[in-house]
């Protein structure tokens, strides 16, 4: 399958060749914006976009996302980081500085349902998903042919009650070095240890309803209650199942005419859109996490 | 306050002067549509719109909504009903036949929050809500001036733990003869006896989230979880609190920037829209109830 | 690439094995619904869903869509049609009767942009698009590899000013016998003769804005005007370019932050969703055309 | 009619008692953010939110919106402005600094349709619209009673071809000193001179479709074309009719079932929502204008 994305990607790289992104969070305090912008000005950077948000003035937490251009960014990045350390230390900042054109490496986990996986592959192939898909990992063989036809390695690692620990070892090995794990309808629970390794770097997608239906067969429950909206939520994975910080949500209108199968089909459409949006924002370094919430910068 | 609605209402009445609406539900069986349409044809009626839905072919339940025109409908309505009885009996139908131009009588219950009440009053005044608002009943005095300025009677019936039974008696007396009760942010629970009197004729509105937040202060919980959508659900009231058949739902997009107050304000906007839509559909006899679901005919 | 759709399709066929769909339009007149439903009852059919709409009572036009089950439908279909002719003639009906499980044959026309094509292929492969894609026809070679990887024949028929007539001959030959042509971003204008052959059986997709921007580079115009919504319209193709009966429309929210490239990318997302929805409704025989409008039955 | 808003407004004032908003636009240049944030830091201000956008790095235009808290803001505002002048001059800034708690004065213009007016009055009364409605001006008497029942002065200034100039004089006198004029379905064209006085401070609302329908009776045209979405656009008024910078747009789904009257009714619902949102953003100083576009800060 030929790569449509090459031209798009070259255009993207050209546009972003000296573009950096910086994410900062710390306790709020007067002077932070001044300190950061003075630093960038002194380095010769030109701020292209900057957004800042404080949870609660004076006692709250401060969040900032900056995009700036700096001539010869690639060569100067390490020096820039070194120079910023004193400021970061002074304000007790958590921070992150990255070239915009650097593609993140991602691993996609999938079980048997292909709709979310295919949406990601499709956007990747069309150049809309700015990432390198290093590997697709599954507990089943079903998606091998599809994935490999995109030229992407496929690891099938079956998971049973007995081999859970070794299976996770194998997964971690296969995903070695990735920046983000996407659970594209991966139906296995990950262990606390796994989650710790990838804290706030695992994105999951699941169906959502108003109200939520607890327990098995949620679409059947939603059908019986006659809901008029079905939705999906993309969130970072934390130890409490399906309760991590929400990145994105959306809904689709339904009526009494849709049977359970149609509800599921429409649910799949929402899931793939919501997951792709959440992943896109993460890859553009737009999402910061705080408490059990996210700040999604525009 | 002058009545803008008079002209609109006259146009509506003129357009609908010989228009009837018929709702039917029964066990599905071959020949129902033929029997009903033969009957109407024989009576000289012209079917303007008809929609039909079967939950499950052969073993399911059949639902039908018909709008038809019949010359001199008002004079002929009772005769029409008498003539239909044998067919209804034959098929074991629950059915309902009404003049489209007949305005239903409604009572609105409200506590202290005015947003849903005002939306209904506003649509009523502009001629968009085809109903007679017979009375507004509240457990507080707060809305009296507003309601009376629309020329609508206002009954303040305080409710306490001690007087609950008598208060409901007074409410039932004040609402005597109404076709529909709208709980426009009425914060008291109605007794089973009250609900029985108005089965499927009480519409309530409440906030909804994906997922739902159980317990007190839902907006605070939604804020802490960082939801990206807040919504509202309008439903018929049944004994199980907030679990009756859903008529309509909608959502509004929010972000990390909205504080709890803003979430509540946006929630109020969704609530008033969703309630007004659900009430409008009920008044146009578009909603049928089955199991714990609704059929909302287009 | 293995076929995921097989299982889905078998389930669909099983569910619809004796299901028929009937579309009727004629001048409105009392007794039509009775005549049709008597006929179906006499034949032993069970009406599963029926929707009816009249543009304007008494002087208007009548439209009806019926789904019914009839034992051994496949064997009885021709007899059913023969038996219906006298009724159809009596009321001057245009009508159409088809097995629900019969897959329509479609041809997809594409130029260089792949987003709409891929959405259709993707839904087809997942069993959501109930059609046989007989052929993909393009004026360029670009999509060959992609299309053939789905096991679908690809015809590249270059179109120039000089060879336009022959090219259309070749297209008509390649599309021989299809029920529907989908223009999935096909950037050539079809001749009146071509359109006549496929009247109301060619669906096109194009971008739409509020307000519309006439002339070249509409996304650039929309960007300069700072629109907050971009949309797409799927419609049947008629001689007046982009002015045929609308089947479906939708929009996507944008802001000042999106540059022209981002607007186009978001526009592509809307286009593929809207086209897929419109095609799905057409394949389920939900769309009737009248004047320059469509009736889309629920 | 009692004022529900008092409590809400007090809470708002308390929360915003020392809160300022600053809007800046100028040619982009390195160091702007540093200069502004240094200034605010030196003054003892704490930046609560700041958003910045550059149309095109290096050659483009820079836009910034800052919210900050400063102890005793009211007393210090003039001194703050004086101190900022040198920086503003150095960078060639257009800028604007205002207390968040200061309510803007608005005049609402209306003709005979009341839906947009009532939405604004309703939000104002409930404390959601942070403005003082100084006056409602109309070319008709129809809304007097409604407006006066809210305790707001009503000026009826009839407009004819002959008296247009004097009428505008009277309007300008009645609107003397307002910060914003809202055309809430005001059906008269304002003269260039009038527009100049209130450049980017007049907001209009009008219906919008995909595509736009030029000429008279747009709803009738939209009905004949069978559109599936109807919308509304709120924009600043410029000399070219209905072509000023767009602030907000939204749409509502419709079907073949809605007749022209229903389309208009649904159009009114969209119009009032879109206008209220646009006005709210303007009042919170979120909207900047550039070329023929707006920057709407989140």
Q: What is the largest CA-CA distance in chain B?
A: 63
**Residue C290, SS3?**
strand
Residue boundaries of the structural domains of chain C: 17-99, 104-296
Measured in angstroms, the CA of D198 and the nearest CA of chain C are apart by 20
What are the start-end ranges of the E strands in C153-255?
A: 154-156, 180-183, 202-209, 229-236, 246-253
B52 contacts C30? CB cut-off 8 A: no
Report phi then psi at D156, rounded to 5.
-95, 115
Residue whose pair of structure tokens reads 């309703």 in the numeric block: D122
Contact between residue B12 and residue B127 where contact means Cβ atoms under 8 Å apart: yes
pLDDT score at D148: 95
pLDDT tens, position by position, D61-84: 999 999 999 999 999 999 999 999
Compute the count of residue pairs across chains B and D with CB atoms less than 8 Å apart.
34
B255 contacts A296? CB cut-off 8 A: yes
Q: What region, left, alpha or beta, does residue C267 occupy, with left being phi > 0 and alpha being psi -120 to 50 degrees?
A: alpha
Closest CA to C290 of D260, D226, D227, D211: D226
pLDDT band at B127 (very low <50, low <70, confident <90, very high): confident
Mean pLDDT (whole number) for B192-217: 88
pLDDT band at D215 (very low <50, low <70, confident <90, very high): confident
CB of B227 within 8 Å of a chain A CB? The answer is yes
Query: Could you report how far apart the first and last alpha carbons of chain C are, in Å?
Result: 34
Q: How many CA atoms lie within 13 A of B24 on its CB side?
A: 28
* Residue C242 falls in the annotated catalytic set: yes
A146 neighbourhood in chain C, CB within 8 Å = 1-2
Contact between residue A185 and residue A111 where contact means Cβ atoms under 8 Å apart: yes
CB of D251 within 8 Å of a chain C CB? The answer is yes
CB of C214 within 8 Å of a chain B CB? The answer is no
A47 contacts D54? CB cut-off 8 A: yes
Query: Which of D269, D277, D296 to mutate to probe the B interface, most B CBs <10 Å?
Result: D269
CB of D211 within 8 Å of a chain C CB? The answer is yes
> Does residue B2 carry a pLDDT above 50?
no
According to DSSP, residue C100 is labeled: T
Helix H or strand E encompassing B70: none
Nearest chain B residue (CA) to C19:
B57
Contact between residue C30 and residue B45 where contact means Cβ atoms under 8 Å apart: yes
pLDDT score at A4: 44
> Does residue C57 carry a pLDDT above 70?
no
pLDDT band at C3 (very low <50, low <70, confident <90, very high): very low
Query: Which of A20, A24, A29, A30 to mutate to probe the D interface, most D CBs <10 Å?
Result: A30
CB of C271 within 8 Å of a chain A CB? The answer is no
Closest CA to A178 of A144, A136, A139: A136
Residue whose pair of structure tokens reads 């159980």 in the numeric block: B214
Closest CA to D229 of C252, B287, C256: C252
R_g of chain C, CA atoms, integer Å: 21
Task: Please name the chains neighbouring B, where neighbouring means 3+ C-beta pairs under 8 angstroms.
Answer: A, C, D
B114 contacts D126? CB cut-off 8 A: yes
C255 contacts D293? CB cut-off 8 A: no
Which stretches within chain B are classed as H helix?
5-15, 32-43, 73-91, 115-125, 144-149, 164-174, 192-197, 218-225, 260-283
> Does residue C107 carry a pLDDT above 60?
yes
pLDDT score at B241: 75
CB of A61 within 8 Å of a chain C CB? The answer is no
**Residue C239, C-beta contacts closer than 8 angstroms, at least 6 positions apart:** C192, C195
> Does residue D57 carry a pLDDT above 70?
no
Closest CA to D199 of D242, D248, D240, D236: D236
The b-or-e profile of C263-292 (16+ CB within 10 A means b, else e) is bbbbbbbbbbbbbbbbbbbbbebbbbbbeb
Measured in angstroms, the CA of A75 and the nearest CA of chain C are apart by 28
CB of B27 within 8 Å of a chain C CB? The answer is no
Q: What DSSP letter does each residue of C227-269 carry, written as one string?
A: -SEEEEEEEE--SSTT-S-EEEEEEEE--TT--HHHHHHHHHH
- From the first residue on, what is the mean pLDDT of each consecutive set of 10 residues in chain A (298 residues)? 53 82 93 94 92 78 94 96 97 96 96 94 89 97 93 96 94 95 94 90 92 82 91 93 90 91 92 96 95 91
Of the residues C132, C197, C242, C285, only one is catalytic, namely: C242
CB of C30 within 8 Å of a chain B CB? The answer is yes
> Judged by CB atoms within 8 Å, which residues 99-138 of B form the interface with D?
114-115, 118, 122, 126, 128
pLDDT score at C58: 56
pLDDT score at D214: 74
Measured in angstroms, the CA of B255 and the nearest CA of chain D are apart by 9
C104-296: what fold? Rossmann fold (3.40.50)
CB of B226 within 8 Å of a chain A CB? The answer is yes
> Does residue C78 carry a pLDDT above 70?
yes
> Does residue B1 carry a pLDDT above 60?
no
Helix H or strand E encompassing C82: helix C73-91
Report phi then psi at D126, rounded to 5.
-85, 5
pLDDT band at C60 (very low <50, low <70, confident <90, very high): confident
pLDDT score at B8: 63
CB of D51 within 8 Å of a chain C CB? The answer is no
Q: What DSSP letter does each residue of D147-214 carry, written as one string?
A: HHHTT--EEE----TTTHHHHHHHHHHHTTT-SEEEESS--SPPPHHHHHHTTT-EEEEEEEESS---
Same fold: D17-99 with D104-296? no
Q: How many CA atoms lie within 13 A of B89 on its CB side?
A: 6
Residues β-bridged to residue C138: C110, C156
ipTM: 0.88
B52 neighbourhood in chain A, CB within 8 Å = none
The b-or-e profile of A136-158 (16+ CB within 10 A means b, else e) is bbbbeebbeebbeebebebbebe
Mean pLDDT (whole number) for C36-45: 95
pLDDT score at A129: 92
pLDDT score at B6: 59
Q: What DSSP letter does each residue of chain A carry, written as one string?
A: ---THHHHHHHHHHHTTTEEEEEEEEE--TTHHHHHHHHHHHTT-EEEEEEEEESSTTTSEEEEEEEEE-TTHHHHHHHHHHHHHHHHHHHT-EEEEEETTPPEEEEEEE-S--HHHHHHHHHHHTT-S-EEEEEEEESSSTTHHHHHHTT--EEE----TTTHHHHHHHHHHHTTT-SEEEESS--SPPPHHHHHHTTT-EEEEEEEESS---SS-HHHHHHHHT-SEEEEEEEE--SSTT-S-EEEEEEEE--TT--HHHHHHHHHHHHHHHHHHHHHHHHTT-EEEETTEEEE--
Take residue B7 and report the two structure tokens written for it: 């002209």
How many of the other CB atoms lie within 10 Å of CB of B198? 19
Crossing angle of helices B115-125 and D115-125, in 10° steps, is 160
> Does residue C50 carry a pLDDT above 70?
yes
CB of D298 within 8 Å of a chain B CB? The answer is yes
Take residue D184 and report the two structure tokens written for it: 């809430």
> Does residue D3 carry a pLDDT above 70?
no
pLDDT score at C287: 96
Q: Which CATH number fits domain D17-99: 3.40.50.200, 3.30.70.260, 3.40.50.300, 3.90.550.10?
A: 3.30.70.260
Closest Cβ–Cβ partner in B224, B251, B295 for A292: B224
B33 neighbourhood in chain C, CB within 8 Å = 33, 37, 40-41, 47, 50
A149 neighbourhood in chain C, CB within 8 Å = 1, 149
Of the residues A56, A242, A259, A285, only one is catalytic, namely: A242
């Amino acid at each position: 399958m030929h790569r449509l994305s090459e031209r798009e990607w070259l255009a993207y790289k050209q546009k972003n060749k000296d573009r950096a992104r910086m994410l900062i969070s710390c306790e709020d305090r007067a002077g932070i914006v001044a300190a950061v912008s003075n630093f960038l000005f002194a380095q010769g950077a030109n701020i292209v976009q900057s957004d800042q948000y404080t949870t609660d003035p004076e006692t709250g937490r401060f969040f900032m996302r900056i995009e700036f251009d700096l001539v010869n960014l690639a060569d100067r990045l390490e020096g820039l980081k070194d120079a910023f350390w004193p400021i970061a230390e002074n304000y007790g900042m958590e921070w992150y500085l990255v070239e915009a054109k650097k593609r993140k490496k991602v691993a996609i986990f999938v079980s048997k349902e292909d709709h979310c996986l295919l949406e990601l592959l499709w956007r990747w192939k069309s150049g809309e998903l700015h990432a390198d898909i290093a590997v697709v990992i599954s507990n089943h063989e079903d998606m091998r042919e599809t994935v490999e036809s995109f030229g992407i390695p496929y690891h099938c690692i079956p998971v049973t009650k007995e081999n859970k620990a070794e299976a996770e070892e194998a997964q971690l090995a296969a995903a070695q070095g990735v920046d983000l794990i996407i659970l594209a309808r991966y139906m296995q629970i990950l262990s606390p240890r796994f989650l710790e390794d990838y804290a706030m770097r695992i994105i999951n997608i699941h169906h959502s309803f108003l109200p939520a239906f607890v327990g098995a067969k949620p679409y059947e429950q939603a059908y019986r209650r006659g809901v008029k909206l079905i939705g999906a939520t993309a969130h970072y994975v934390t130890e409490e199942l399906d309760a991590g910080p929400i990145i994105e949500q959306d809904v689709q209108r339904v009526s009494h005419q849709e049977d359970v199968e149609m509800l599921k089909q429409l649910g799949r459409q929402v899931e793939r859109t919501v997951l792709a949006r959440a992943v896109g924002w993460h890859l553009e370094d737009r999402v910061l996490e705080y408490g059990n919430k996210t700040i999604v910068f525009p």
